[in-house]
A = this chain, B = another copy of it.
Amino acid sequence: MSVTAAAGFRAAGVTAGLKHSGNPDLALVVNDGPQHAAAAVFTSNRVVGAPVLWSRQCIQDGVARAVVLNSGSANVCTGPGGFQDSHATAEAVAAALGIGPIDVLVASTGVIGVRLKREKLLAGIPVAAAALADDEAAGAAAASAIMTTDTVPKVSVRTVATAAGEFTIGGMAKGAGMLAPALATMLCVITTDAVVPDGDEGAALLDRALRDATATTFDRIDSDGCMSTSDTVVLMASGASGVQPAEAELAAAVRAVAADLAAQLLADAEGASHDIAITVTGATTDDAALAVARAISRSNLVKTAVYGNDPNWGRILAQVGTVPESVAPYDPDQLDVSVNGVMVCRAGGAHEDPAGVDMAANRLVTILVDLHAGDAEVTLLTNDLTHAYVEENSAYTS
């Protein structure tokens, strides 16, 4: 069902001809209200695509009536002409729906540094508008149209019972856990029919819920440490259920959908043979735990060792050691490391025999590092570094 599961939303996915493959490449998600509250989170990269520049402006007022997404071109590093392409795209959607262009968010994914095929995109918008529907097929079509190197569409739906009644939340996302050859981008649209307070108050509530959710889900999948120029996550509320949940109830639902989609992104990671769940516990703060987990997740030596099913705790400790004491206080002689539940390193030295660690049996590998410095714990998800990753990211020519 994805984005059409919640009442008040229609979607479509069509082929505009932006992809060489001829696969669907244009998605449209429309909020029919009665409310049009929205929030969005974008990449923190300083080099961003024209769609991000456009959408950042549009979301300022906390209102969005539609999101148009295309695959086949990221429209990044394309200059003023590229920005005009995104602007024209919003204008075309606005004209087709009879709304204002400032209420139309734009998101693009695909090759960087190449102008998108503007005429084909603009010609496809009326086709998408005509195909808008609120059924399951329409939601599935939209989820498929935003795929690039994804092997499967990623969708998630939750129906939440509250004291006030039920509301529904659903979402779709695209992107490989590892960045794709053409800098494939993490795009996500989450819709809900929950009622939120009118005006800025409702938009602020959605913004808090979305930032909280992304900080603990999408921001904690770190596949190859490379930051995209186009990441966009949008949350829209239609109020069509007539049910107004408590902020905490809505926030929890957004987090659940985001977590589910994040896990699906990782499971579809290009070239990966293992997912790696890195848990850092005994840290003084969440930030300290996250810094240590990120240092481990970005080590090519750790990632290749996991690919080789080698519980190489020395490489893990070497990464822990790169985090400044000002960021993560700990005593190197107190560090414990467990891989798949086997404590191969205790108090900074060899402990149980690594031969007892079976890494080949499952896709998921768990790494637990105990800093013995505090009570904070964070889990970060990443992938191993494989021949397939090198192949997919080197064989490609732009």
Assuming the A-B contacts A46-B321, A77-B350, A225-B300, are A113 and B314 also in contact, with contact meaning beta carbons closer than 8 angstroms in the complex? yes
Q: Within residues 377 to 398 of chain A, which ones have a CB less than 8 A from any CB in chain B? A: 385-387, 389-391, 393-398
Q: Within residues 346 to 387 of chain A, which ones have a CB less than 8 A from any CB in chain B? A: 347-350, 354, 385-387
- 1/0 per residue, CB under 8 A from B, across A233-263: the answer is 0000000000000000000000000000000
Assuming the A-B contacts A305-B393, A332-B46, are A350 and B317 also in contact, with contact meaning beta carbons closer than 8 angstroms in the complex? no
Q: Is A214 interfacial (CB-CB < 8 Å)?
A: no
Closest to A228 in B: B318
Assuming the A-B contacts A350-B113, A393-B308, A398-B310, are A321 and B226 also in contact, with contact meaning beta carbons closer than 8 angstroms in the complex? no
A70 to B106, CA, bound (A): 60
A232 to chain B, nearest CB (A): 15
Contacts of A179 in B (CB 8 A): 301
Closest to A47 in B: B321
A350 to chain B, nearest CB (A): 5
Closest to A223 in B: B300
Contacts of A347 in B (CB 8 A): 79
Question: Could you tell me how many residues of chain A have their Cβ less than 8 Å away from some Cβ of chain B?
Answer: 62
Closest to A307 in B: B394
Partner of A314, one of B77, B318, B320, B333: B77
B304 touches A393 (CB 8 A): yes
A-B contact pairs, 26 of them (CB 8 A): A45-B321, A46-B325, A46-B332, A47-B332, A47-B335, A77-B314, A78-B350, A79-B348, A112-B317, A113-B314, A183-B301, A183-B314, A183-B315, A183-B318, A226-B299, A227-B321, A228-B318, A229-B314, A229-B317, A229-B318, A304-B394, A305-B393, A308-B396, A387-B387, A387-B390, A389-B390
List the interface of chain A (C-beta within 8 A of B): 45-48, 76-79, 111-114, 179, 183, 224-229, 298-301, 304-305, 307-308, 310, 312-315, 317-323, 325, 332-333, 335, 345, 347-350, 354, 385-387, 389-391, 393-398
